[in-house]
Amino acid sequence: MPLSARKFLKSVSGSFAPLLAILLIPMVAALGFSIDYTSAVSTRASMQNALDAASLSITTLATDTSLADRQVKLQEAYLANGGQGTSKLDSFVVATDGAASIKASAGFAMPTNFMQIARINTVQVGVASAVTKRPALVQATFKVTKISGWWGKTMTLYGTKFGDTVANKLMKITYTYNGYGDPKGYGTATVSTINGATITMVQQQVCTTTTVTSFYGLPTTTITQTSGTRKYATTCVNTMYPATGAGAVIDVSQMDQLYLQMDVPSGNPTVLKSNDPATSNRLYADGVEIASGQTVDIFTLVPCGQTSTQAWEDGGSSVPTSPTITDSNADFFYTVTGKCAFNQRASETLLTQ
Phi and psi for 112 in degrees, rounded to 5?
-100, 165
Identify whether 248 is part of a domain.
Answer: yes
Identify whether 147 is part of a domain.
Answer: yes
- 172 and 277 assigned to the same domain: yes
The helix/strand count (H/E) of the chain reads as 4, 18
Identify whether 5 is part of a domain.
Answer: no
Among 130, 55, 43, CA closest to 87: 55
Question: SS3 for 24?
Answer: helix
- 259 and 301 assigned to the same domain: yes
Identify whether 297 is part of a domain.
Answer: yes
Identify whether 7 is part of a domain.
Answer: no
Residue-level pLDDT at 314: 85
- 191 and 337 assigned to the same domain: yes
Phi and psi for 74 in degrees, rounded to 5?
-60, -45
Q: In one letter, which amino acid is 196?
A: G
Last residue of a domain, one of 104, 133, 162: 133
Residues 6+ apart with CB under 8 A from 341: 63, 97, 98, 135, 136, 138, 253
- 118 and 250 assigned to the same domain: no
- 129 and 146 assigned to the same domain: no
- 101 and 141 assigned to the same domain: no
Q: Cα–Cα distance between 188 and 154 in angstroms, integer?
A: 12
Residue-level pLDDT at 185: 92
Residue-level pLDDT at 2: 58
DSSP H or E segment with residue 244: none
Q: In one letter, which amino acid is 82?
A: G
- 20 and 144 assigned to the same domain: no
Identify whether 1 is part of a domain.
Answer: no
Phi and psi for 251 in degrees, rounded to 5?
-80, 115
Residue-number span of the structural domain to which 314 is assigned: 137-346
- 229 and 324 assigned to the same domain: yes
Among 182, 309, 286, CA closest to 235: 182
Instruction: Judge whether 262 and 311 are in contact, CB under 8 Å.
Output: no
Q: Cα–Cα distance between 340 and 349 in angstroms, integer?
A: 14
Residue-level pLDDT at 288: 86
- 240 and 305 assigned to the same domain: yes
Q: Cα–Cα distance between 93 and 313 in angstroms, integer?
A: 44
Residue-level pLDDT at 25: 55
| Size of the chain in residues | 353
- 201 and 328 assigned to the same domain: yes
Residue-level pLDDT at 64: 87
Among 209, 176, 171, 208, CA closest to 193: 171
User: DSSP assignment of 39-51, as one string?
Assistant: HHHHHHHHHHHHH
Q: In one letter, which amino acid is 308?
A: S
Question: Facing residues of 136 across strands?
Answer: 341
- 77 and 149 assigned to the same domain: no
Q: Cα–Cα distance between 224 and 206 in angstroms, integer?
A: 16
Question: SS3 for 238?
Answer: strand
Tally of structural domains, the chain: 2
- 266 and 310 assigned to the same domain: yes
Instruction: Judge whether 202 and 172 are in contact, CB under 8 Å.
Output: no
Identify whether 353 is part of a domain.
Answer: no
Last residue of a domain, one of 86, 111, 133: 133
- Residue 93 backbone zone (phi > 0: left; psi -120 to 50: alpha; other: beta): beta
Residue-level pLDDT at 7: 55
Residue-level pLDDT at 20: 46
Residue-level pLDDT at 279: 92
Last residue of a domain, one of 133, 154, 182: 133
Q: Cα–Cα distance between 132 and 346 in angstroms, integer?
A: 11
User: What letter does residue 297 receive in the DSSP assignment?
Assistant: -
What's the average pLDDT block by block, 10 residues per block, for the chain (353 residues)? 54 53 54 70 91 92 90 95 94 89 93 72 89 91 94 95 93 95 94 96 97 93 93 95 96 92 92 94 89 88 90 76 64 93 78 70
In 112-212, beta strands by DSSP E: 122-133, 136-147, 153-161, 168-177, 187-195, 198-212
